[in-house]
Amino acid sequence: MQSLKRQLSLLLVICAAVGGSLVAGADLPVQQQAGEAQNAGAKVESHGAKEEHGLPEAAVPVLKLGWLTITNSMIVTWVVAAGLIVFVHFATRRMERVPSGAQNFLEWLVESLYGFLEGIIGAHLVKRTFWFFATIFIFILSLN
């Protein structure tokens, strides 16, 4: 049981690290493009064109710490990763032979994903890659 708890904690830590770096790295080029698009949009607006509303192309910067810009997407990623870590810790702090409550939900989620992937990629390959696919799936599912 301790092994399962250790593996789930490791999954979530990897998930937080991968998610934070993906979000942080994805924002930089988009911010430059968004600045160019805003400049072009200002020229069009000055000519009396109709203004469009919608989501921004780049994540909204919240805080700038030297070369590191903290965006709203990064904050959401950190909050979700922390929430997953707290949930797994809570669900596995008193593991029982017959699960109930949060432990039951967590075991259902992990076993269902394992069975789903096993049916797609086979028993041998799922043993080697489950940690990766489960981490990405649970993290993205939680982000949405």
Average pLDDT over residues 136-141: 96
pTM of the model: 0.61
Average pLDDT, the chain: 80
The C-alpha atoms of residue 141 and residue 12 are separated, in whole angstroms, by 13
Choice between 129 and 21, residue whose per-residue pLDDT is larger = 129
Please report which helix (H) or strand (E) contains residue 52, including its range: none
Name residue 61's beta-bridge partners: 71
Reply yes or no on whether the pLDDT at 106 is more than 90.
Answer: yes
Residue type for position 99: P
The confidence score (pLDDT) of residue 48 equals 55
Reply yes or no on whether the pLDDT at 110 is more than 90.
Answer: yes
The confidence score (pLDDT) of residue 30 equals 47
Reply yes or no on whether the pLDDT at 49 is more than 70.
Answer: no
The 10s digit of each residue's pLDDT in 27-46 is 445 455 455 545 544 554 55
Name the DSSP letter for residue 57. Answer: S
- CB contact set of 14 (below 8 Å; sequence gap of 6+): 131, 135
The 10s digit of each residue's pLDDT in 3-23 is 656 665 655 556 555 555 444
Average pLDDT over residues 35-58: 63
Indicate the domain borders of the chain.
Answer: 2-26+63-143
